Chains A and B, each alone.
Chain A
Amino acid sequence: MKKGLIKATSGYERFVHWLMAISCLLLCLTGLGMMYQSLNFFGAIMGGLKGLKLVHNYTGLVFGISLVLAVLMWWKEAGIFVFPEDIDWIMTAGGYLWHVDKVPEVGKYNPGQKMFFLTVAFFGVIMLITGFFMWFTAYFPLGIELLRWTYPLHVLGFLIIFAFFFVHLYLGTIGSPGSVSAMISGWVTRAWLKKQHPKWLKEMEHQGTLIVSDGEK
C-alpha cells in the first residue's frame, strides 16, 4: 500500500455496504425478471421463474438484515441533516450541476449522500413490508382492497431505488474519481478527501482519529 493514504471506511462498513448492494441488485434483477415477461429468461439459471421468485423472496430477507445493520450503523452520520451548512450545500447542488466558486465544506456525508441513505432506508422498509405481504397474502390484515395497493407501492419503491442506484453508481465511480477505493480497500487519497469531505478531514485531524498509511506492507 502506498504511503500517505487515509483510512475512510472500516471493514464492517464495507461488509454491510456490499451485503446491501449485492442483495439489492439481485432483488432488482429478479424483480425485473418477473415484471417483464420478456425478461423471464433471467430465471433460466435459477431453475425457472419459480426458482427466480424463491431467490427474490429469500434475498429479500438478506436485504432486510443488511438494511437493519446499515441503519444502525449510519443513521447518526448520514440520517440527520445539519443546518444551515447542508442547506447551503443543497443550494449549490454540491457544485455538481453548475460552476460554483466555493462549495460549502462537507463532513463525512454530503446532503446528497444523506438523501440517498434516507431514501433507501425509507423505501427499503416499504419494500420489506409490501414484499412480506405479497409473499404471505394470507397474513395481510386489512382486506383485499388494500392488499392490492401493496403491489404498486412495491413498484414505486423499485422505481425510486433503482433510479437512485444509478446516481450512486455514477458518483461512486467515474463521476468522482478516487471514490471507489473507499468501498474496496477502504483507503483514499488525501487529495480526494480534501475535495470531497474537507470538513471530515479537519475533524479527524483535530480529534486525532486520522489513520494514515505508513507505506509498509
Chain B
Amino acid sequence: MAEKIKLYDASKCTACRGCQLACKQWNGLKAGQTVPTGTYQNPPSLQPNTYMIIHYQDYVDPNGDVKWLFRKEACMHCTNAACVTVCPSGALYYNKDFKTVGMDREKCIGCKECVAACPFEIPRYDSKTEKVYKCDMCESRITNGLDPACVKACPTGALKWGDKEAIMSAAAKRKQDLGVVASTYGDKFVGGTHFMYILKEQPDVYDGIKKNPKVPLSVTLWKSWLKPLSLLAAGGVIGGSFLHYVLHGPKRPDPEEVIQDEKTQGGK
C-alpha cells in the first residue's frame, strides 16, 4: 500500500473539536479535570490521555485586523522520526505501509527517551502507568482500510487522509487558492511529516508551533556516532591488548626475584 498523509486545512476548520472527541472515543481515553482560563482550548496542552488538541489563538495581523486562528496539534508522524531512532525497545516503529509512526504500548518501558528526543515535543509520559502516549494515526483503523477517527468525525472536510502524492498536490493547490500569506507546514521538515497543515497565515504566526523542527543534533551524535563508536573503542582495546600480549608480551616479575621469592617460601 502507498504512503499516506493526514492533511489539516485550517481554513476549513471551525474548531468544533469533533476530532478531539472522536480521538478520545476511539482510543478509549478519559478526560481530566481542568479549570476555565478564558479560552476554549481545553485541556491547555497535550496529555497522556489527550493525543490531540485544537489550539485557539487571537491574532492581530499587520493591518490591525483581529483573527481567530485554529491549529490541530498532534504527532506529526515524521519520515525521519527521532522517537523511533531513540526508542530502546522497538515500541515506536514505522508503519510498513503508510510510513506513519505507530506505537506498541506493551513494549514501552517508560524510559522517556522519546519525550526528550521529539522535535515537536509531542509524546507524553504517564507516571501512573509508567508508559508514554501519543497519536498513532489510529493504527487499528488505518490498517483495516478506515480513516483515522479524527478524519472520520470532521464535519467540514478540514481533515483528509489519503495517498501522499494526491494530498501533497491538493495542499499545494489549496495554498494557491488561499492567497499569499497562506502556507503549508510539515512537508519541509524531518524528511516530510505524515501529518501536515494548510495554514491561513505564515507558520511563525502560530503560538507553540516549531519554527524549524529537525532531528536534534544530540540524537544524531548519540545514535549515529557514539553508539557504534562505543563498541568500536572496546573492540579496539581488546584487539590491542591481544596484540600487546603476543607482540610485546606481559610485564612479568624479574626471574631472579622470583627465584629469591621461592627460596623464602621454602623451596618448590
- Pair from one complex: yes
- Our count of residue pairs bridging A and B at CB distance below 8 angstroms stands at 140
B64 within 8 A of A: no
Among the stretches B43-51, B55-63, B82-90, the one at the interface with A is: B82-90
A95's partner among B113, B251, B265 (CB-CB below 8 A) is B251
Contact with B along A164-192 (1 / 0, CB 8 A): 11110010001111100000000001111
Which of these binds chain A: B9-17, B154-162, B216-224? B216-224
Q: Tell me whether A166 and B234 are in contact (CB under 8 A).
A: yes
Task: Judge if A202 is at the interface, Cβ distance under 8 Å.
Answer: no
Q: Please report B residues at the A interface, Cβ cutoff 8 Å.
A: 86, 88-90, 107, 109-113, 115-117, 121, 125, 130, 216, 218-219, 221-222, 226-227, 229-230, 233-234, 236-238, 241, 244-245, 248, 250-254, 257-258, 260-261, 264-266
Residues of A contacting B238 with CB < 8 Å?
166
Interface-side segment among A18-26, A69-77, A121-129, A143-151: A143-151
The 6 closest A-B pairs by CB, nearest first: A191-B257, A4-B264, A191-B253, A170-B241, A152-B222, A163-B233
Whole-angstrom distance from the CB of A111 to the nearest CB of chain B? 15
Bound: A142/B230 CA distance, A: 27
A111–B112 Cα distance when bound, in Å, is 40
Partner of A162, one of B218, B230, B244: B230
**Count of interface residues, chain A, beta-carbon cutoff 8 Å:** 51
Inter-chain CA distance A103–B258, complex, in Å, is 19
* Interface contact A162-B254, CB-CB below 8 Å: no
Which A residues lie within 8 Å of B266 (CB)?
3, 215
Taking the nearest CB of chain A, how far is it from the CB of B108, in angstroms? 8
Contact of B116 with A96 in the complex, beta carbons under 8 Å: no
Tell me if A97 counts as interface (CB < 8 A to partner B): yes
Name the contact of B218 in the complex, choosing from A50, A152, A164 (C-beta under 8 A): A152
B248 to chain A, nearest CB (A): 7
Q: Are B226 and A155 in contact (CB under 8 A)?
A: yes
Interface residues as binary, A195-213 with B (CB distance below 8 Å gives 1, 0 otherwise): 1100000000000000000
- Report A14-51 CB contacts with B as 1/0, cut-off 8 Å: 00000000000000000000111100100000001110
